[in-house]
Structure 1
Amino acid sequence: MSVVARYSRRLVLGAGVAMAATVALGSAVGGIAFAADAVKLGVSIPAATHGFTGGIVWWANQAKAELEKAHPNLKITVKTASGAPEQANQLQDLVTVTKIDSLVIFPFESAALTQPVMQAKKKNVYVTVVDRGLTDPSAQDAYIAGDNTAFGRIPAEYIAKKYNGKANIVALRGIPTTLDNERWEAFTAVMKQHPGIKILDAKYANWNRDDAFKVTQDFLTRFKEIDVIWAADDDMAFGVLKAIEQAKRTDIKEVFGGAGSKTMVKTIMDGSNPLLHADVSYSPKFIYDAIKMTAEARLKGDKLPATYIIPSSLITKENAKEFYFADSPY
């Protein structure tokens, strides 16, 4: 079975959902859909600075190769950026030089990219925003993302239950974005119901292994008793583990990451690390689905539903095999 087929089995945005979404599509003008002679689709995404964005880049290029082969009148241009300023500049080039008519964007940061995306939309570019929402939703036509509320809620419920509502916790957040805010708000909302759980501190570590290592070093220096570290990302979780090992700390009982990377899932499945017991799914394949849905809708002259959310699941040793794909890029 191919990587694409195997991932499609796992996620909601499979063939059945795509068909359902097509039925729900709004027409381009007054109830009548007009097929486009050609579509120039721009894809703007972060560069592969860590494992998850590496998966984003891989899936975006998979979509380009497969969709351009299937649709000769479709041209997809993929741009990767190492930061918000570079992404904003690339976006301007996509609009003015490449002259795209449709855009799928995974914003590097929410606030910094909102105005550039708004400018593209004002020039009649159809905009699908993926994962990291904009601060002004009117800048987009459609929004496709994983369930960030569940991404924060699931580990919080798991920790609260496993530790009987009593634990000292530190947390590592990602990059200041709407999705990180959603995750954090959902996590803390659960914890507020358990006064015996103390969140000692939370800091941004940019979904980066090295940054997570440094942030964890600081936590370990300042706090002498920590039960659980919520890393909120698998790359960050491995940075956390390195810091714990280097500090020779034995008080920490568990590290909870996020996103269901194949390395993390394999570790949980094998039980090979005593600090890793669970994770939450959040596959980078949603960029592939977003590109496919947007391209096929625009080729028909249709629009996507305003919002589409992909559910997340708790991954444990009991069900890890369902989330492990050895040939996946992440």
Structure 2
Amino acid sequence: MKRSLRSIAAGLGAIAMLGMWSTAAPAAEPVTLGVSIPAATHSFTAGVVWWSEQAKKELEKAHPELKVIVKTSSGAPQQANQLQDLLTVNKINALVIMPFESASLTQPVMQLKKKGVYITVVDRGLTDTSAQDAYVSGDNTAFGRLAAEYLVEQLNGKGDVVVLRGIPTTLDNERMDAFKAVTDKHPDIKILDARYGNWNRDDAFKVMQDYLTRFKHIDAVWAADDDMAVGVLKAIRQADRKDIKIVFGGAGAKGMVKTILDDSNPLIKADVSYSPKFIYDAIKLTAEARLKGEALPAKTIIPSVLITKENAKDFYFPDSPF
């Protein structure tokens, strides 16, 4: 993560706080906080797992009356089952969850809330916000908007674009809606297709292979994730396609930022920040608020920033897992 985002997370002074304070009842002490997150199936979620463990270690050391239980899941059904275990076996009274999927996790989370568990949802929102007390996320609207503005500018307002979306979630919808809100203003920018690559290198490779077969001319690719961008680049290399001018990923993975810094790939010139450290912030904010019997703001949004060669050094952290 870049230095300025680290200071944002530490001081919370530059984080945009939206919404009114929740009226949820104060939690009884001691606090048992469950953390439910996707498994480290790609580099971004590896960062989420790493930051979650960091939060657990630091917070339990600082607060003996706090217990943090981190659970990872490889899919929505497993995550739903783990939520029940966190409630019945671990007796949690607070939960920080990054849902594997939005729709299928909404009711399982709602069941915990009805049992009196304080709920903080992170990143991938639920389809019914009444199931949560607080929401912490990166700026998904800026994530999509900044990518579209960059592509429009680089293509001089004219070109054929293919899109790889993530997993069906509210945040993916926000990103895609923001991207299209920009491109719709430029009728000469044509979105040839937009399909899910599941934030996965192998899936993105297959989607891009299909695009390359179906479309004989592509000017730019919005991969919408740096892992997917890796799969996209592999497919382009194998097909030896020379028409593609730009591949734009997303989230500021260290490998992609290093590529921008070194100017080592002509297709990769920019990215957008979206650090997995928001899970650390969400756990810390939730734990400390519940220990005081307080609630969080209804919504906390952490800004996204366009990464270019001019500022990439501020986003490059070689020791980070992401």
CA gap 1:11/1:250 in 2 versus in 1, 3 angstroms: farther
Q: Is the 8 A contact 1:155 1:256 kept in 2?
A: yes
CA gap 1:84/1:103 in 2 versus in 1, 3 angstroms: same
Equivalent position of 2:236 in the other structure: 244
Equivalent position of 1:39 in the other structure: 31
Q: Is the 8 A contact 2:21 2:298 kept in 1?
A: no
Equivalent position of 1:183 in the other structure: 175
Distance 1:283 1:311 in 2: 10
Is 1:13 aligned to 2:5, yes or no?
Answer: no
TM-score, normalised to structure 1, is 0.93
Q: Is the 8 A contact 1:43 1:77 kept in 2?
A: yes
Equivalent position of 2:111 in the other structure: 119
CA gap 1:7/1:138 in 2 versus in 1, 3 angstroms: farther
CA gap 1:8/1:250 in 2 versus in 1, 3 angstroms: closer
Q: Is the 8 A contact 2:3 2:315 kept in 1?
A: no
Pick from 19, 25, 49: which aligns with 1:57? 49
CA gap 1:211/1:157 in 2 versus in 1, 3 angstroms: same
1:156-191 C-alpha deviation (Å, 9 max, x unpaired): 011111211101000000000000000000001100
**What is the DSSP-based 3-state SS (H/G/I as helix, E as strand, rest coil) of the residue aligned with 1:12?**
helix
Distance 1:284 1:19 in 2: 15
Aligned AA for 1:300?
K
Distance 1:35 1:251 in 2: 58
CA gap 1:137/1:203 in 2 versus in 1, 3 angstroms: same
CA gap 1:19/1:151 in 2 versus in 1, 3 angstroms: closer
CA gap 1:16/1:176 in 2 versus in 1, 3 angstroms: closer
Aligned AA for 1:310?
I
1:50-93 C-alpha deviation (Å, 9 max, x unpaired): 01000000000000001000000000000000000000000010
Displacement, 1:25?
5.8
Equivalent position of 2:209 in the other structure: 217
Distance 1:201 1:154 in 2: 19
Paired residues for 1:71-220 under 5 Å: 71-220=63-212
CA gap 1:186/1:324 in 2 versus in 1, 3 angstroms: same
Q: Which runs of 5+ in 2 are unaligned?
A: none
Distance 1:157 1:20 in 2: 22
Aligned AA for 1:133?
G
Distance 2:285 2:111 in 1: 23
Pick from 276, 279, 283: which aligns with 2:271? 279
CA gap 1:91/1:9 in 2 versus in 1, 3 angstroms: same
Displacement, 1:115?
0.1
Distance 1:257 1:44 in 2: 26
Distance 1:35 1:106 in 2: 21
Aligned AA for 2:152?
A
Percent identical among aligned pairs is 72
CA gap 1:20/1:187 in 2 versus in 1, 3 angstroms: closer
Equivalent position of 2:254 in the other structure: 262
Distance 1:60 1:246 in 2: 37
Q: Is the 8 A contact 1:27 1:302 kept in 2?
A: no
Aligned AA for 2:11?
A
Displacement, 1:12?
2.7
Equivalent position of 1:323 in the other structure: 315
Distance 1:320 1:314 in 2: 9
- When the two structures are aligned, how many residues end up with a matched partner? 320
TM-score, normalised to structure 2, is 0.96
Is 1:288 aligned to 2:280, yes or no?
Answer: yes
Q: Which runs of 5+ in 1 are unaligned?
A: none
Displacement, 1:269?
0.5
